[in-house]
Structure 1
Amino acid sequence: MRALPISLAVLLLLAPIAGAVSPAAVAGAVADSATEGIDPAAEGTAPAAEGTAPAADGVDSTGANIGSPADGAAERVGEDRDRRQVDPANLTFRTLSTPSDVDTRVGASARGANLGSSVGFSVGETDAAMETAAVVDRIEAAETSAERQRRILAAINRVERDEVTLNSRQTEAFSAHATGNLSDRELLDELVRIAATAREYDERLDELDALAAETDGFSSPTRLDELQVGLQVYEGPVREFALSAARGEVSATEVYVESSDRSVVLATIADGEYVREVFRVDRWDRGGGAISNDEAIEATSAAYPETASLREPDAFGAGSVQRITIPHEFGLLRTFVSGGTSQVFVEHQRLALDAFPDTETASETGDGFNVTVDRSYAGGPVTVTVRDEETGEPVPDVTVTKSVGGGDSQAIGTTDADGVVRTLSPADSYRVTVVDEPRAVFVDDLDPIATPRPVDDTDE
């Protein structure tokens, strides 16, 4: 096995901190020019929905990227002949949550730059990238085609075993947070590490697929494609935000965390969007049989009928996991559907805050202010609007605080030019206070509204 040069190892460690290049790229990963930048799940023989094309990395054939703001989504969807019509009065965006009949733990805290977490993430990514480089070196050093094939298959088997370990590790993290043995920050850090490990395994499988294609009389087994789709369930837009925040690449903001022993909900507000991811282990049958594109589309459409009415869903997957994506004029929904249960077990959503429909309004007037609070469900976005009581004009630069369950008030922020500031709804009763000393207005006894769950999750 060829050792990596010291200079390369140092570059691998520093690159993620600087945000310059990915570990796999620095490691000299083998990349086929014909497939470079292609979604890992799109390579090999993974079946795509009829009429769809291979997708760019992190992007479905629809052109929507769950890991970045959905700017321009309305323009793209408006030009799409598959776009459907919906009555705005009936619009709702259903969302998974923790099971309704289990004990949960809920928290929320600011997520910002953290040198310790950032360095830890970089070290983990470097270790995984170096392991991938070592695997490639070992395969390329094989003296015969038969030995090369054996080493490729052994490397795929190793990733398959490691994915099982990754799943157990994630479930243990859910449970540890739910029982109070992990803090919100510790849980987020662990989920970020798990996502980074899954990405590296995915990239390693890309390397193995390329090596297999270069081997005479050999091609990658179908299970490689299935494994790549399965690894994508460990990533998510809130985890991606948490990583960027720890590295100081984005401004600090609040992250909502809710867990049970077999599920987690993460949510935040970023770039004018509400961002949410949910993982439900209880809805994933890891031993379930294969599920087709059409079956997965039907399952998602039935569970999220209002969202599916906005645009035709796009399917991509292989084996027992299918990934469904619905980019629409208000944002994007991505689900992962399990064979066996035919249920959505992972959900990612991005929704434009200005068009968020799942709210109920409370208001209070006093001290020259008219304060409106658009309440949402636990973990959902709450919009506070402050206007002048006499003129109705927005009031900028006033401080707004939130206190939960009779606790101390915590500053949400100051109102913008439109008199608006946003936060995430707690799971308990809360108070919003508008402060412009000596004036103050209190909006008391605010409760979250019911979560609009998917159709097949309403009775669970």
Structure 2
Amino acid sequence: MRALPVAVVILLLLAPVAGVIPPAAAGTQDSVGSSDALDSVGSTPSAPTSAAPASAAPPSLALDGGQSHPAPQQVDDANLTFRTLSTPDGVESRTGSTARGANIGPSLDFSVDEANAAMETAGVVQRIEGAETSTERQRRILAAINQIERDEVSLNSRQTEAFSAHASGELSNRELLDELVRIAATAREYDQRLEELDALAEETDGFSSPTRLDELQVALQVYEGPVRSHALATARGETGPADIHVASTSESIVLSTIVDGEYVREVFRVDRWDRGGGSISNDDAIEATSAAYPETASLREPDAFGAGSVQRITIPHEFGLLRTFVSGGTEAVFVEHQRIDLGTFPDTDSVAEAGDGFNVTVDRSYAGGPVTVTVLDDETGEPVSDVTVTKSVGDGDSRAIGSTDSDGVVRTLSPASSYRITVVDEPRVVVVDGIEPIATPSPIENGTASNG
């Protein structure tokens, strides 16, 4: 492979930016991309839920960008819950939310970083292909793999520093998300570089890729995530604006958002990753995930992919998808990605208020979870559309979360503290006050629900 010509580099820089400001958003770009408000500081409690028996069927694998849903299984709705990792129990966390929208500045920065990384990969390949002997070619391939190993260590330190800086207030929500998007993009490029190195190794006489290449590829995937991907897409104008919930401690992060009728969540727990913990088998990683998420594991048989000290477990099911990364040593889930269909999201509790001809129901959830507001006509019971709904946290100002759709529904994300929902259709107003988030349905550890 030859180094990229200047024209190609220019195209790499410009292509993603062409969609930064869609016509409908051109007038609101600045305001949409700059909102960054904290909800509260505190810890989120956990609550146990009952487990369901295990059953299995071969799953169809899904990508982070979406999933194909397998045929439904028989599920006991009364026991259905989707457990989720969160920040550690008993550790104070910084929580908040930020509005993400098309933003040409970060989008250009991301594109420049991607182009530079692609050029670096092209240079590595060119140096290997320029080796005059098979021995020298092998040496250069191994040197390139060694360099990526060192780069992954640096990437891990960089991410942990970002977690800590956000938790201490040094980084805003927006700045944290931008950094995590960059880290994910860097990890993807390292992964692609390893693919190139693997192909070059296969083409080299008397040589094959070392086992640690596969191990390194799985380890790099932990730095990617569905919320980070969506944050990048919104910055580039490839999708509409979105609110993103953020919670952090010095060694953990929780990100969540709502995308196309799904609740999307990713969690990273540095404290549960034993980087020197040794190998873990597919079966042990599946067992760890199934024990932690028994209800989800009962929907479909988990699929394992990995090598060495990190295993990736995927459970696609009729309600969405669960993906975990399990560490050797701790044999604990340290990264979690989830997608859950909002139409069947079970972890809610309803509060209601009637007045001024409206009947308003708020299906509250845990901190960072999806909240559904439904507005019906108090006399007919019919949905009321195009009604403005606002949310305020604590003593903060109200902020519009949207207008009800044809089903009388609008959705938002739950803050970590008490909040108020207001339905406004001048001169009619209904307020649902003092709404508290419910307890987070934590994974099972040693027979008890815990986010330890």
State if a TM-score over 0.5 links the two structures.
yes
Q: Given the alignment of the two structures, is residue 396 of structure 1 paired with residue 390 of structure 2, yes or no?
A: no
Q: Tell me the distance in 1 between the aligned counterparts of 2:86 and 2:225.
A: 15
SS of the residue 1:372 aligns to = strand
SS of the residue 1:387 aligns to = strand
Q: Which runs of 4+ in 1 moved over 4 A?
A: none
- Backbone CA RMSD of aligned residues: 1.8
The answer to whether the 8 A contact 1:400-1:433 is kept is yes
Q: Given the alignment of the two structures, is residue 63 of structure 1 paired with residue 61 of structure 2, yes or no?
A: yes
Partner of 1:99: 88
Q: Given the alignment of the two structures, is residue 368 of structure 1 paired with residue 357 of structure 2, yes or no?
A: yes
Partner of 2:43: none
Alignment of 1:105-124 (within 5 A): 105-124=94-113
Alignment of 1:54-93 (within 5 A): 62-68=60-66, 70=67, 72-73=68-69, 76-78=70-72, 85-93=74-82
Runs of 5+ consecutive residues of structure 1 not aligned to the other structure: 21-51, 54-60
Q: Given the alignment of the two structures, is residue 458 of structure 1 paired with residue 450 of structure 2, yes or no?
A: yes
Alignment of 1:206-245 (within 5 A): 206-245=195-234
The answer to whether the 8 A contact 2:3-2:119 is kept is no
What whole-Å deviation, never above 9, does each CA across 1:345-390 have from its counterpart, x for those lacking one? 0000000001000000000000000000000000000000000001
Alignment of 1:78-227 (within 5 A): 78=72, 85-227=74-216
Partner of 1:275: 264
Give the superposition deviation at 1:62: 2.4
Judged with a 3 Å threshold, the aligned counterparts in structure 2 of structure 1 residues 255 and 337 are, in CA distance, closer, same or farther, namely: same
Q: Given the alignment of the two structures, is residue 312 of structure 1 paired with residue 301 of structure 2, yes or no?
A: yes
The answer to whether the 8 A contact 1:66-1:332 is kept is no
Judged with a 3 Å threshold, the aligned counterparts in structure 2 of structure 1 residues 145 and 459 are, in CA distance, closer, same or farther, namely: closer
Percent identity of paired positions between Structure 1 and Structure 2: 75
Pairing partner for 1:332 from 321, 331, 349: 321
What whole-Å deviation, never above 9, does each CA across 1:180-221 have from its counterpart, x for those lacking one? 000101000000000000000000000000000000000000
Runs of 5+ consecutive residues of structure 2 not aligned to the other structure: 21-56
**Letter in structure 2 aligned against 1:62:** S
Give the superposition deviation at 1:77: 3.1
Pairing partner for 1:449 from 433, 438, 444: 438
Q: Tell me the distance in 2 between the aligned counterparts of 1:394 and 1:14.
A: 45
Judged with a 3 Å threshold, the aligned counterparts in structure 2 of structure 1 residues 240 and 221 are, in CA distance, closer, same or farther, namely: same
Instruction: Tell me how many residue pairs correspond in the alignment.
Output: 414
Partner of 2:49: none
**Letter in structure 2 aligned against 1:368:** G
The answer to whether the 8 A contact 1:177-1:259 is kept is yes
The one of the two structures with greater contact order (alpha-carbon pairs below 8 A, sep at least 6) is: 2
Give the superposition deviation at 1:9: 2.1
SS of the residue 2:361 aligns to = strand
SS of the residue 2:222 aligns to = helix
Q: Given the alignment of the two structures, is residue 13 of structure 1 paired with residue 13 of structure 2, yes or no?
A: yes
Q: Tell me the distance in 2 between the aligned counterparts of 1:275 and 1:169.
A: 24
Pairing partner for 2:396 from 377, 398, 407: 407
State the TM-score, normalized to the length of structure 1.
0.88
Q: Tell me the distance in 2 between the aligned counterparts of 1:436 and 1:103.
A: 39
Alignment of 1:372-383 (within 5 A): 372-383=361-372
The answer to whether the 8 A contact 1:398-1:415 is kept is yes
Pairing partner for 2:245 from 247, 253, 256: 256
